[in-house]
Chains A and B, each alone.
Chain A
Amino acid sequence: MSRPVTKHLEIPAADGDGERYSLRMGPQHPATHGVLRVDLELDGETIVTCTPQVGYLHRGIEKLAENKTYAQSLILTDRLDYIAAMANNVGYCVAVERLLSISVPLRAKYIRTMVAEMSRICSHLLWLATHALDIGAMTVFLYCFREREILLDLFEELCGARLTFSYPRIGGVRQDVTAGFIAELQRFLDIFPARIEEYETLIDTNRIWLKRTVGIGRVTGGEALSLGLTGACLRGSGIDYDIRKHQPYDAYDLVDFEVPLGNDGDIYARYRCRMEELHQSARIIQQCIDRLPPGPIVGPDTPDLVMPNKAPARFQAETAAYGTGLVKLIRDQNLYLAGDVYVATEAPKGELGFYFVSDGNNRPYRMHIRSPSFIHIGALAAIAKGEMIADLIANIGSLDVVLGESDR
């Protein structure tokens, strides 16, 4: 960035309409949800310009993926949006499957849809918890974590990890669900609507919450589109865009759900949209449980870490040398078709896209991640301009940014 380095609270000469000063918020500010730095120029408490600075959590995930096989890169996607790692895993697998044109069995599709929606609930609960905490509602924070804990326990039961799941595999899922898991999930679904009711009792009509959210951070539908907002931030402005509905992947075209739309485009509308999405996600999970078909959980030609006996015919060239799947990096062999593909999925934060350029090797020539958080942070400058500094916190929370995903 070419902005001159300014000292904290450096006060330039008054330019007639009050004294302007610059302030750096973050990267250690607790309400920036990680390591976001926002350079502010303020006139009193009004924000004149707002420049978000990202990159404090850059790990070079896109570059790292170029030196790993498609199966190995899955673990990198856990570390994008670490609050909803399962949604990233699913998005990555869907993208690679489309690149290599691999079919997924129906059972795996349903399981994936189920876990992606569980992770959406996880993410929205954490969003509500921290967003409310930023604005000053402590109780909601604790109540949301209570339900999130149940889901994390379920994930632990399913795949052995609570944060970095690496659960789906290219062409299916890693482990089948058990009766115990389904029963526990059903118990969660039975209590969950009452729990959403609790959160709403606490803040939905609370006058402090309304004062902090209604009419703040207003984005019209057209602005939201031009800023590139996706997910609940776009739907809060009344634009009907949900990839699950419009370009269905996995089993989303087989389940019945609605896309909640707001009207006002302010923080309260986005909040209402996400709360409604919690209901819809629970509905999708319920349908997945009811319709879970029998069958295999991995497709016949998965290029994942296959067992020695299970080298699919399609990848014989690769497996011949080592007797196992895409474990070894083999350079300069044309295993796949060369080409590029962009596949977008609806992550809890918004449109999560994976763009692959393949030169035929078993690792991507280039992997680009279109992460919603990065785009949303970019939109922060336009949204926060002219508002109060205290509302910046509410705006950051409402855009639901995760810096792991933004900085990659």
Chain B
Amino acid sequence: MQVQYKPRRGWLGTIFQSEILQGMGLTLRRLFSRPITRQYPDERPQIRVGFRGQHALVRDPATGDCKCVGCMRCAMACPSRCIRIRSHKDKAPGSRRVIDSYRIEALRCVYCGFCQEVCPVNAIVLTEVFEYSRLERSSLHFTKEQLLANWDQFAAQLNMSDGYVNPCWRPRGLAERDLPAPKRLPVPPEWSGGEQVVGRQWRQHLPPEQS
């Protein structure tokens, strides 16, 4: 397909600067329309669910500690290798691993969300908190306590009544049988793949209650 050019400017347009006046007219119209600029520090941006921001370790309400079981999957999946975990096995039979330290170097992290996805118990999360710049580097090397505190900070601004599910914990559209038991969280049918969004062409073939 050959691209089409607009017709050349005539002598009348050249004298009266028609194309410049048209452009000025457009900007004048826009001058009186509602501004779209967000005055950031005063006006908070709308952060979408599942934004990959500050790291946190989910605090287990039952124990008050993190949910991590020390399987090291996040540390292995991490492309930037910024997760360090130390754990030991408790002597008592049947007990799970005790996490001695869980460190995330936020300065190395690339915020890919792979750690959340491979975590079998939904212990780690990238929260929607995006403002956490610090003045010293050392304070961005999160320890386990800081990570738990990050979760408390995030949980305080969440509506926890209907349970928080991060889209990386339970990827939208994956069948439930593909997930380990702790990741089979209650989610809306659209999320679990039960009611997929389909195009117009397919909508006609669906039963009427779904369309």
Q: Is the CB of A327 within 8 A of B199?
A: no
B 120-149 contacts with A by CB, 8 A: 120, 126
Q: Is the CB of B200 within 8 A of A174?
A: no
Per-residue contact bits, chain B 32-43, to A (CB 8 Å; 1 contact, 0 not): 000010000000
Q: How many A-B residue pairs have CB under 8 A?
A: 169
Q: Does B154 contact A (CB under 8 A)?
A: no
Choose from B2, B76, B118, B178 the contact partner of A309 (Cβ within 8 Å): B178
Chain B residue nearest in CB terms to A166: B112
Instruction: Assess whether B52 is interfacial by the CB under 8 Å rule.
Output: yes
Stretch at the interface among A9-17, A90-98, A268-276: A268-276
Contact of A160 (CB < 8 Å), options: B168, B173, B199: B168
Asked if B199 and A293 make an inter-chain contact with CB atoms under 8 angstroms apart, the answer reads yes
Q: Say yes or no: A75 contacts B79, CB within 8 Å.
A: yes
CB of A202 within 8 Å of the partner chain: yes
Q: Is the CB of A294 within 8 A of B79?
A: no
Known contacts A176-B193, A205-B19, A206-B23; A327/B77 CB under 8 A: yes
A206 to B174, CA, bound (A): 51
User: Count of B residues near A, CB < 8 Å?
Assistant: 58
Docked-complex contact A205 and B9, CB < 8 angstroms: yes
**Separation in Å of the B115 CB from the closest CB of chain A?**
9
Counting chain A residues whose Cβ lies within 8 A of the other chain, the interface size class is 35 or more
Interface flag for A292 (CB, 8 Å): yes
Asked if A291 is at the interface (CB within 8 A of a chain B CB), the reply is yes
Q: How far is the CA of A25 from the CA of B121 in the complex (A)?
A: 54
A280 to nearest B CB, angstroms?
9
Question: In chain A, residues 244-274, which have Cβ atoms closer than 8 Å to a Cβ of chain B?
Answer: 258-263, 269, 272-273
Q: In the complex the two chains form, is A178's CB within 8 Å of B197's CB?
A: yes
Q: Which residues of A contact B47 (CB under 8 A)?
A: 156
Between-chain CB contacts (< 8 Å), 9 pairs:
A68-B79, A75-B114, A173-B173, A175-B173, A179-B197, A273-B3, A290-B201, A325-B118, A327-B76
Chain B interface residues toward A at CB < 8 A: 1-6, 9, 14, 17, 19-20, 22-23, 26-27, 36, 46-48, 50-52, 73, 76-77, 79-80, 110-114, 117-118, 120, 126, 167-168, 171-175, 177-180, 183, 190-191, 193, 196-202
- Measuring CB to CB, which residues of chain A are less than 8 angstroms from any residue of chain B? 68, 71-76, 78, 107, 139, 146, 149, 153, 156-157, 159-161, 164, 166, 173-179, 181-182, 198, 200-207, 258-263, 269, 272-273, 275-276, 288-298, 305, 307-310, 322, 324-325, 327-328
- The 3 lowest CB-CB distance pairs between A and B, nearest first, are A176-B173, A292-B199, A72-B79
